[in-house]
Amino acid sequence: MSDERRDEHTLTSLEAMRLFERSGVPRSQRSIERYCRDGKLDCFLDPDEDRYYATPASVETLIGQMMEIRARHAPAEVPEAGPRKTSAPPFSSAESDPSATADLETLRRENLDLKITNRAKDYLIDQMKADRRQLTDDFKNLALEYGAASRRIGELEATLRLAAPNEAAPAVPPEEPDRPEAAVHAPSE
């Protein structure tokens, strides 16, 4: 397994699984990932996606090795004397099984729904990222404007202090407190 992802690491484990199937040596996705961990495939584990990426060349090499092993261990076929009978697979097409047709249509609809949901999710994430960038920019601009306004206010206050240093503040006569005893001793007529 590689420590760094290279340009050659293009196949996901699911895509590699499909290549194994097409080549006649089907393997599960878990097996493909185990081959990556064991070093049988040149893979890179993306820590962000938690997904393996394999090189097509290493997948083709392993498929070739497995086909070779299968050929070595396959029993030798003895030709039959009579005409050969070809047997069709139990379900050669979806039309032969009505429930398979319904299942296939259900899976197609679910697949389409998932694709639409993923596109909507991706659009929403992109929109949220754009909104966040805009809010961050707006906040930075407001902070800059606030700083500039604070400096300007400070400059104006300093100018006012320099312009009128000798002027005294207007005198306000202190208020006399109410005296309750003065009200008691006042002459009454």
At residue 165 the predicted structure's pLDDT band, cuts being 50, 70 and 90, is low
**Which of the two residues, 76 and 16, has the higher pLDDT score?**
16
> Which band of pLDDT confidence, cut at 50, 70 and 90, is reported for residue 5?
confident
pLDDT of residue 178: 61
pLDDT confidence band for 164 (50 / 70 / 90): confident
Instruction: Give the per-residue pLDDT at 80.
Output: 58
Q: How far apart are CA 59 and CA 16, in angstroms?
A: 7
The amino acid present at 12, given as its one-letter code, is T
> What's this model's pTM, rounded to 2 decimal places?
0.40
Reported as a single tens digit per residue, the pLDDT across 71-125 is 888 776 655 555 555 554 544 444 566 778 888 888 998 998 898 988 888 888 9
For 17, 37, 182, 183, 184, the CA distances from 187, given in Å and listed in that order, are: 114, 110, 10, 9, 9
Separation of alpha carbons 17 and 50, rounded Å:
17
| Tokens 């396959």 sit on residue | 74
Phi, psi of 91 (to 5 degrees): -130, 90
Helix (H, G, I), strand (E, B) or coil at 43: strand
> What is the distance in angstroms between the CA of the first residue and the CA of the last residue of the chain?
114
Q: Which residues pair with 148 in a beta bridge?
A: none
Beta-carbon neighbour count of residue 35 at 10 Å?
22
Q: What is the mean pLDDT of residues 6-28?
A: 90
**What whole-number distance in Å separates Cα of residue 18 and Cα of residue 21?**
5
